[in-house]
């Protein structure tokens, strides 16, 4: 319905499966060309030509322009044309190194290799050129993470200090004992800067003396005062 700008997906020719298949192929193609260095935006006609989809219907083209490509998180519109939108848009190895350095300074850690490869053209070549300026770490799920190798943090530690460090056993000491030891040595710990532990709620135990009291059902203190009428026959006085 062109009057209100809405579209009925079921009314579009080719079926929804075909439409979304075309969309997926377009996004994948835009990613591939971005990775090889072709980052300039394309018109829809150019995209359809390069993905061999010039034969799609008018309604499908309108759906791509008005909804599918505009709302796709991996596509951005630039002056009426379309370009791939990676998580990190990097031009070269210097941009990658600046990004990793920035993450390191902010304490954000590393960046997934797949996110770097997505946004950096010829990523493997750039990563190889950086050499030992970056560090690779494998996650338990086998995904690789890139870290900035801050060489200013590399320093030699005196062997005597290392021996002194290793001579203090802490395996059998809990946190309270370690804290107490540090205080005796005049060292303040960083306990207050970390996340505070929430103490478990302790339920109050009822005193042992508060047991259910048993009450007597007879009046011992009135013995000899009340008369016994159990032998009286009803109706007779």
Residue 218 has a pLDDT of 54
What's the mean per-residue pLDDT of the chain?
78
Q: Given a cut of 90, is residue 89 above it in pLDDT? A: no
Which residue, chain included where needed, has tokens 């030992």?
132
pLDDT band at residue 5 using 50, 70 and 90 as cut-offs: very low
Write the pLDDT tens digit of every residue in 108-127: 888 999 999 998 988 888 89
Record the pTM.
0.53
Residue 4 has a pLDDT of 35
**C-beta of residue 129 within 8 angstroms of C-beta of residue 92:** no
Which residue, chain included where needed, has tokens 């478990």?
200
Question: For residues 52 and 45, what is the distance between their CA atoms, to the nearest angstrom?
Answer: 10
Mean pLDDT of 69-75: 93
Q: Given a cut of 90, is residue 233 above it in pLDDT? A: no
Token representation of residue 160: 């005597």
Q: Given a cut of 80, is residue 147 above it in pLDDT? A: yes
How far is CA 145 from each of CA 22, 25, 69, 117, 220, rounded to the nearest angstrom? 32, 28, 30, 11, 86
Mean pLDDT of 182-203: 63
Question: For residues 109 and 57, what is the distance between their CA atoms, to the nearest angstrom?
Answer: 47
Which residue, chain included where needed, has tokens 């090889």?
36
Q: Whose CA is closest to 117, among 98, 143, 150?
A: 143
Token representation of residue 146: 């890139």
Question: For residues 123 and 136, what is the distance between their CA atoms, to the nearest angstrom?
Answer: 14
Q: Whose CA is closest to 141, among 162, 161, 118, 112?
A: 112
The beta strands (E) that lie in the chain are given as: 75-78, 81-84, 111-112, 134-138, 144-148
Question: For residues 237 and 234, what is the distance between their CA atoms, to the nearest angstrom?
Answer: 8
Angle, helices 93-105 vs 123-130, to 10°: value is: 70
Among 31-40, 63-72, 155-164, the minimum mean pLDDT is found in 155-164
């Amino acid at each position: 319905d062109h009057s209100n700008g809405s579209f009925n997906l079921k009314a579009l020719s080719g079926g929804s499966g075909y439409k979304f298949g075309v969309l997926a192929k377009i996004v994948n193609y835009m990613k591939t060309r971005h990775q090889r260095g072709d980052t300039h935006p394309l018109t829809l006609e150019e995209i359809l030509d390069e993905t061999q989809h010039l034969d799609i219907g008018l309604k499908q083209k309108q759906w791509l322009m008005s909804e599918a490509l505009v709302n796709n998180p991996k596509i951005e519109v630039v002056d009426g044309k379309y370009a791939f939108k990676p998580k990190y848009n990097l031009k070269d190895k210097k941009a990658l190194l600046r990004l990793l350095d920035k993450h390191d300074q902010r304490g954000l850690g590393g960046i997934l290799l797949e996110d770097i490869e997505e946004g950096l053209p010829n990523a493997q070549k750039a990563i190889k050129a950086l050499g030992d300026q970056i560090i690779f770490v494998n996650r338990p799920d086998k995904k690789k993470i890139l870290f900035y190798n801050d060489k200013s943090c590399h320093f030699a530690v005196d062997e005597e200090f290392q021996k002194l460090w290793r001579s203090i056993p802490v395996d059998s000491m809990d946190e309270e004992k370690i804290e107490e030891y540090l205080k005796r040595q005049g060292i303040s710990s960083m306990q207050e800067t970390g996340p505070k532990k929430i103490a478990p709620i302790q339920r109050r135990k009822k005193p042992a003396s508060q047991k259910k009291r048993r009450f007597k059902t007879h009046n011992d203190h009135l013995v000899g005062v009340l008369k016994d009428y159990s032998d009286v026959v009803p109706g007779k006085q």
